[in-house]
Amino acid sequence: MTVFGYMRVSTNETRQSFRSQKDALRKAGATKYFADTMSGLKSYKDRPELSALLDVVVAGDEVVIFALSRATRSLPDLLELVALLEAKGVGLRSISEGVVDTTTPHGKFMVSILGAVAELEAEWTRARVNAGVAAARARGHIGGRRPKLSAEQVALAQRLRAEGQTVIAIGGMLGVSRPTVYKALADAL
């Protein structure tokens, strides 16, 4: 029997999160590890390392995760993943939730409950973020990066281009790259 550890961090999380997950998985008995860096909202099917893990596990193995949210935040996805592991004779254990062990009826029940809670939490987070973005827009704040060129610089770039200056020369004068000049000129049209 091999105990596999699966880790996932969002793209905005740090390597420290990987280290802390790996330490916890090691303490739980994991000897081989798979790790993805991507959003928890993506299906388990779209995660290359989790897919690789599912290809190598065999009956009697166990997959240990730090928390159910590291595997997926979608209840249907979680239940499908649990069923897939169960069909292969592979157990799933979550360290954080403690009561999750799919080798027992109680554990299977808890996976369903905790998966629903994780999905609800993801929905609430998405709603809060969307509400925050809407409130910021209502106050006149626009998301995204600030333009690299001011309106005056764009007007200067247009004038210089009309006078026959090259885009590379204009970029050099304004201190920006050639693609930035092209984009500014295209956006100004």
* DSSP class per residue in 69-93: HHH-S-HHHHHHHHHHHHHTT-EEE
- The contacts found for 55-59 with CB under 8 angstroms, 24 or more apart, are 56/4, 57/2, 57/4, 57/85, 57/88, 57/90, 58/88, 58/89, 58/90, 59/88, 59/89, 59/90
Under DSSP, the state recorded for 42 is S
- Any catalytic annotation for residue 10? yes
Closest CA to 90 of 158, 8, 1: 1
H/E element, 156: helix 151-162
H/E element, 162: helix 151-162
Catalytic residue among 10, 43, 51, 112: 10
- List the catalytic residues: 10
